[in-house]
A and B are shown apart, each in its own frame.
Chain A
């Protein structure tokens, strides 16, 4: 008897597997090896720090994708929760070890999400987008005026402990070799990316996740088949903002200094751009999007001299600043992806995969 194709799904249990095909499992192993090896190969501080920021962004983007991509709730308020996570870290990070302040940030973020979440019940679509937009501004006001916590306009420094048992991520010692802070943070951040990705991936394949997607696709119909849409909407808000706060906590502890200027609307929109460019409703897409959108400003910043017309310094030559060019590229990317590739990078990836799967019968 002929063996069935390796990708053939034969029962429901198989369909629900986290990593369905052998290729996906092989890819996972390759990614894990890459995760461990990369900081040993790339030792340049610039690239490592770019990768650390990309990883932090990926964590936040996975959270936003859960809310926006899987549950269909538009939120422009992601920056607020990220900021909250950073300030929680600043507040308790120096007293508590890593395994306590990170969950503490998640907890506070989740609670804030639970406060905001009920708005999602009364408001839909456009109204929710604008209320969460208001959240960013109210949050910014709060961060600027709650000086005891945030240091006001001048910002506050964050001295969080980043040690897990004997491993200090500021200075990792492994088999007699000492690794720098950037290398240590790379491992810390990307392990967390893997954990969060696994968590969300697991969430969306089980009942709550399928309920979320039912709510996204048509919430009235979801109610009719017995999904309590309200509960799931709030739940998605809570989990998403908890993850956002984790991203903020990592950001704050890595950067060691934060000011209220960082949690603005632009940050929220960057996250949405990541989710769109990466692909709505895919975990892998959020990571791809974070790599793409996160690395782009770094590249422009680094190679700005080589691009004609870009002004690198204040009062330098050229008509467009690095910041402005960045913003314009974001805008163009958002528009182009939405118009021509609404499924994002993940969609392109799926097409490439499908091409090779059906090769030599592709057309």
Chain B
């Protein structure tokens, strides 16, 4: 039982990182209809910026996080402004490929600046753990879960009550009607890219501050967050959180019980569990658990 709960906790910690990344996907998809494959690159960029701010410039960790999120947001919005704005009205395929192109440019730039070495981010939690009733919680994991929860709550409040959030919802629902009401779609698109990039940076630093440290392959986690977004439904923020938690739990539990239950499936089967879960969910609900059903009349 202890082992099970311990695995669940690991799953939630992992899942909250997925949820942050998936939220970024959803924000961009909902307002602009684009799936952002470059999210992993932005995540890595954010993590490395966080490293520079906290280790090289010796800023306080909280300040480093904020600054990294800010710079990543500027990069995200800048990319939207420079490239994606020209792609309005192009087929979704072309736009997806543009974001893949961005990812391919970001990765070598990051390795050219910071190199391939594994770096350790200076963080206030070190590797401290808390023990409660036989369960061991990493302080850093607790912070990640708490931070994600706070961001998610803030996210929903922002969309529900702020005028910018309302404008974003309106633009997502019907861009032309929004324009007619004097909402600047350009501004909304740039803001959604900025928010997504900031979320990615946050997830990146949360990961990099962990025992795994920081290496160029950190952006890989964004690929595992795709299933989280798909499972939840591409246009549902709540779905992103739900999907992220589900995927994280499934992955951690598979890893925990691999030796006993999944030894026939080969090593590291937990890596592909998100994708298998995604395919199973899509077969039952092609629009995800909480996504909007795409109604088609033929």
- Are A133 and B223 also in contact (CB < 8 A) when A122-B286, A138-B276, A269-B100 are? yes
Q: Judging by beta carbons under 8 Å apart, are A328 and B230 in contact?
A: no
A255 interfacial by beta-carbon distance below 8 Å: no
A334 interfacial by beta-carbon distance below 8 Å: yes
- Are A126 and B107 also in contact (CB < 8 A) when A272-B97, A332-B101, A338-B101 are? no
Q: Judging by beta carbons under 8 Å apart, are B83 and A74 in contact?
A: no
**For A146, what are the chain B residues with a Cβ–Cβ distance below 8 Å?**
266
Distance A133 CA – B37 CA, assembled complex (angstroms): 11
Q: Judging by beta carbons under 8 Å apart, are B90 and A328 in contact?
A: no
Q: Judging by beta carbons under 8 Å apart, are A324 and B278 in contact?
A: no
B112 interfacial by beta-carbon distance below 8 Å: yes
Greatest chain A CB density within 10 A among B103, B105, B294 is at: B105
Fill in one digit per residue for B99-139: 1 if any A CB lies within 8 Å of its CB, else 0: 01111111111011000000000000000000000000000
A144 interfacial by beta-carbon distance below 8 Å: yes
Which among A124, A129, A223, A272 is the interface contact of B35 at CB below 8 angstroms?
A: A129
A325 interfacial by beta-carbon distance below 8 Å: yes
Q: Judging by beta carbons under 8 Å apart, are B83 and A335 in contact?
A: yes
Which of B7-15, B159-167, B207-215, B267-275 is near enough to bind chain A?
A: B267-275
Q: Which of A124-163 contact B (CB under 8 A)?
A: 124-127, 129-131, 133-135, 137-138, 141, 144-146
Q: Judging by beta carbons under 8 Å apart, are A74 and B105 in contact?
A: no
- Are A137 and B105 also in contact (CB < 8 A) when A122-B282, A129-B35, A131-B278 are? no
The interface size of chain A toward B, counting residues with CB under 8 Å, comes to: 46
B29 shortest CB reach to chain A, Å: 8
Fill in one digit per residue for A345-356: 1 if any B CB lies within 8 Å of its CB, else 0: 000000000000
Q: Judging by beta carbons under 8 Å apart, are A324 and B107 in contact?
A: yes
Q: Judging by beta carbons under 8 Å apart, are B226 and A330 in contact?
A: no
Q: Judging by beta carbons under 8 Å apart, are B278 and A276 in contact?
A: no
- Are A339 and B278 also in contact (CB < 8 A) when A127-B234, A137-B272, A320-B112 are? no
30 A-B contacts (beta carbon < 8 Å):
A68-B93, A72-B93, A119-B282, A123-B286, A129-B93, A130-B35, A130-B227, A130-B230, A131-B279, A134-B272, A137-B223, A141-B271, A145-B265, A145-B266, A223-B298, A272-B97, A273-B97, A276-B94, A320-B111, A327-B104, A327-B108, A328-B109, A330-B101, A331-B100, A331-B102, A332-B101, A332-B104, A335-B83, A335-B102, A338-B101
Of all A-B residue pairs in the complex, the 9 with the closest CB atoms, nearest first, are: A331-B104, A145-B266, A134-B275, A324-B108, A334-B101, A335-B101, A331-B105, A328-B108, A331-B101
Seen from chain B, the residues whose Cβ lies within 8 Å of a Cβ on chain A are: 29, 35, 83, 86-87, 90-94, 96-98, 100-109, 111-112, 223, 226-227, 230, 234, 265-269, 271-272, 274-276, 278-279, 282-283, 286, 294, 296, 298
Seen from chain A, the residues whose Cβ lies within 8 Å of a Cβ on chain B are: 68, 72, 74, 119, 122-127, 129-131, 133-135, 137-138, 141, 144-146, 220, 223-224, 265, 269, 272-273, 276, 319-321, 324-325, 327-328, 330-335, 338-339, 342
